[in-house]
Amino acid sequence: MHRTIELTVPPHITDSLQAELTSLDEVIGLTLQRGASLKPVGDVLIVHVLNRGADEVLRRVHAAIPKSELSAVTSEATSFISPDEHHVIRGDRDEAIWEEMESGLRHQGRITTNYLLLMALGGLIAAVGLVSEPVPQAVAFVASAIIAPGFDPMTTVALALVLRRRDLIGRGLASAGAGYAVLILAAAATTAILTGVGEMDAEMLASNSEVQNLAHPGWMELLVAAAGALAGVVMLAAFRRSFQAGPLIAMSFIPAAALIGAGLVVGRPDLSLEGLQRFGADWGFILVLGAPFLWLKQRFLHKRQPLV
């Protein structure tokens, strides 16, 4: 997909900025509406730009407009149809800009009732999966990974480290802490109910083969988790969020977090500790593999800090 960037520009800057943007080959279309914006007051520039030129547009906007007067809205453009420019358009690439990545991560990981409820439901389903037969267990683990929005807060921390944003690190840690605390409590409550009705006990939990894989992962399991972690970050950077379920399924931090709560309830703190270790390993993959990848994007592609 390509980009449309709508800018509100102070009138005294409009002419110089529109001349700069017009000169960019990656800008396929540029519309000027003088005095069209009422809040904030100013002229409106609508820029239709290829993904590979979006950062350069925002660099020039940042240089031209004081931050206190800056207002920009980005959106996807499904297609650009311009026969004269077709040779340029077809060579575009799949990239998200920093502002879009941060906005998406913030939306998915904001501590709201919906976010906490989804994390709790993911924990409930994962706890059931811990003592299920192989087929329903696979369904439960896949479902919990998709339902619980647990990937984005962790990725927020990796992005914040690359961009050197302390506030963003704090938001990511707070979101992950609140979300996974709720997930672990929901898994613990589910385990207590299942234990109370005779559907689960410590032996069933400890002897489950997949619980053993979580507690004692081999190289194959760790390799899949590492690939999933990096794939998730790549998809965010490539603006392919609709495919995000794949990396979540490849990783095990949702059932591992559920194991923390379940182990405590059945009196097996050793299982809880092993669940915590596996949870930390998967998060570590996101940081150790994702942060260098995002640093490379910053160093060789974006080459700029976010506008805010």
Q: List, for residues 6-54, the tens digit of each pLDDT value.
A: 999 999 999 999 999 999 999 999 999 999 999 999 999 999 999 999 9
Q: Tens of pLDDT along 209-251?
A: 999 999 899 999 999 999 999 999 999 898 887 667 788 889 9
E strand or H helix at 218: none
Q: Are residues 176 and 274 in the same domain?
A: yes
Q: Are residues 28 and 10 in the same domain?
A: yes
Q: Are residues 107 and 12 in the same domain?
A: no
Percent over 70 (pLDDT), the chain: 99
- Is the pLDDT at 86 greater than 90, yes or no? no
Q: Are residues 238 and 255 in the same domain?
A: yes
In-domain check, residue 281:
yes
In-domain check, residue 307:
no
In-domain check, residue 58:
yes
Q: Report the CATH number that the domain containing residue 37 is assigned in CATH.
A: 3.30.70.120
Q: Tens of pLDDT along 275-289?
A: 999 999 999 999 999
Q: Report the CATH number that the domain containing residue 217 is assigned in CATH.
A: 1.20.1080
Could you please report the per-residue DSSP string of 5-36?
Answer: EEEEE-HHHHHHHHHHHHT-TTEEEEEEEEEE
- Residue 190 domain boundaries: 98-302
Per-residue model confidence (pLDDT) at position 272: 96
Instruction: For the chain, give the mean pLDDT.
Output: 93
In-domain check, residue 64:
yes
Could you please report the per-residue DSSP string of 258-280?
Answer: HHHHHHHHTT-HHHHHHHHHHHH
Q: Are residues 194 and 278 in the same domain?
A: yes
- Tally of structural domains, the chain: 2
Per-residue model confidence (pLDDT) at position 67: 86
Per-residue model confidence (pLDDT) at position 61: 95
Per-residue model confidence (pLDDT) at position 91: 84
- Contact, 72 vs 61, CB < 8 A? yes
Amino acid residing at 187: A
Q: Are residues 84 and 117 in the same domain?
A: no
Q: Given the structure tokens 């409590």, which residue do they identify? A: 185
Rounded to 5 degrees, what angle do the CA atoms 260, 143, 130 make?
Answer: 35
How far apart CA 41 and CA 34 sit, in angstroms, is 10
In-domain check, residue 42:
yes
Of residues 80, 75, 78, the one with CA closest to residue 91: 80
Could you please report the per-residue DSSP string of 148-212?
Answer: S--HHHHHHHHHHHHHT-HHHHHHHHHHHHHHHHHHHHHHHHHHHHHHHTTS--HHHHHH-HHHH
Q: Are residues 153 and 290 in the same domain?
A: yes
Percent over 90 (pLDDT), the chain: 78
Q: Are residues 129 and 265 in the same domain?
A: yes
> Last residue of a domain, which of 66, 89, 112?
89
Q: Are residues 43 and 165 in the same domain?
A: no
Residue 207 burial by Cβ neighbours in a 10 Å radius (0-12, 13-18, 19+): exposed
Q: Are residues 198 and 222 in the same domain?
A: yes
Per-residue model confidence (pLDDT) at position 210: 92
Per-residue model confidence (pLDDT) at position 93: 86
Of residues 55, 256, 301, 23, the one with CA closest to residue 144: 256
Per-residue model confidence (pLDDT) at position 246: 83
Q: Tens of pLDDT along 153-196?
A: 889 999 999 999 998 999 999 999 999 999 999 999 999 999 99
